[in-house]
Amino acid sequence: MPIIAPSLLAANFLNLDAECKTLNESQADWYHLDVMDGRFVPNISFGPMLIEFFRKATTKVCDVHLMIEEPEKYTEQFKNAGADILTVHLEACNHLHRNIQQIKGLGMKAGVALNPHTPVASLADILHDIDLVCLMSVNPGFGGQKFIPFTLEKIKQLRKMIDEKGLQVHIEIDGGVALENAASIIAAGADVLVAGSTVFKSADPAKTIQQLKQL
Ligand code: DX5
Ligand code: ZN
């Protein structure tokens, strides 16, 4: 069964208490928390302060997706805020290996995210050091965008790389995941589905999570 990681970016921020309760009582596995700095991506969302609140609101895994430049400057802050998994973008890191060691040294799981144009082959020399790859299936920065179909090809390539090396690395797909395409995403080899709009804009978020889980 896939891991379901609803993205809180699509939640109603005037009603976060209730949104968290819904997630906590649902089959959601992780909270996916999108941090945007207005530099790496053309949008600004939230930072460690809000993640501290989410940490207090749930016992589920806090999966923090950093869409920021110079993530190494903030690693410790996100650890202190309660992140369990910290994902940085390959495109934002000149010293990715060092950044990964820093994240793991603080006791978090480490993820690397790739923009749609970045080949999965660029992970070859870092794959054995990380816990998760986040393949962006939209250009990061906004929720509610359309899934880029070529991502399915990238999932297959990455699944092959991971299996050939005998590694246990999560493949997380982020952007435009819907009830209509989730089965093909899983069939291609992904095991973590991020879903923002699909979950929070649906009439019954808990039921939508259950439907994704059962795929
Ligand atoms: C996009 C974020 C995603 C986003 C997904 O930059 O990384 O996590 O919230 O939203 P949907 O599922 O609506 O595409
Ligand atoms: Zn994300």
Of the listed 29, 63, 131, 174, which one is catalytic?
A: 174
What pLDDT score does 135 carry?
99
- CATH of segment(s) 3-213: 3.20.20.70
**For 76-110, b where at least 16 C-beta lie within 10 A, e where not — what string?**
eebbebbbbbbbbbbbbbeebeebbebbeeeebbb
What pLDDT score does 129 carry?
98
How do residues 160-215 score in pLDDT, each as one tens digit? 999 999 999 999 999 999 999 999 999 999 999 999 999 999 999 999 999 999 98
How do residues 35-44 score in pLDDT, each as one tens digit? 999 999 999 9
Residue 56 alpha carbon to ligand 1 centre in Å: 23
Residue 7 alpha carbon to ligand 1 centre in Å: 6
Q: Is 6 in the pocket of ligand 1 (CB under 6 A)?
A: no
The answer to whether residue 129 is catalytic is no
The whole-angstrom separation of Cα 75 and Cα 95 is: 14
Would you list the domain boundaries of the chain?
3-213
**Cut 0.75: pTM above it:** yes
Residue 201 alpha carbon to ligand 1 centre in Å: 13
- Of 28, 99, 102, the C-alpha closest to 58 is 28
Nearest-ligand number for the alpha carbon of 176: 1
**Mean pLDDT, the chain, integer:** 98
Mean pLDDT over 88-98 rounds to 98
